[in-house]
Amino acid sequence: MTNNTTAKPKPAMAVLSIGFTEYVMPVKQATEIIRCMETAERYSTRYRTKEDGGPLHYVWQEQVEARMHLLSNDTYIQGKFTGKPDDR
């Protein structure tokens, strides 16, 4: 006797782009990161010598460049199989 139940499709993964770097993760985690980044503030420091008063620290509001799109399970599996690209 054969099992006539169909396999449940794997959920799509999310590709999260922050700046010029892309990360793959489950959609739920990617949406949590996007939600957290909505309230994030930029931080920077500028070196100054002690004689000039020491380092300056800056904190300000700035829109985060974060994007998300879906990646099918088939494409994700192919990417896992291919692995890290050769930098030539």
17 close to 78: Cβ distance less than 8 angstroms: no
The pLDDT of residue 7 is 58
Distance CA 61, CA 44 (A): 12
Q: Grade residue 17 by pLDDT with cuts at 50, 70 and 90.
A: very high
Q: What is the mean pLDDT of residues 62-68?
A: 87
Secondary structure, 3-state, 8-54: CCCCCEEEEEECCEEEEEEHHHHHHHHHHHCCCCEEEEECCCHHHCC
Whether residue 29 has pLDDT greater than 60: yes
In this predicted model, what pLDDT tens digit does every residue of 33-47 receive, in sequence order?
999 998 999 999 999
In this predicted model, what pLDDT tens digit does every residue of 70-82 receive, in sequence order?
999 889 989 989 9
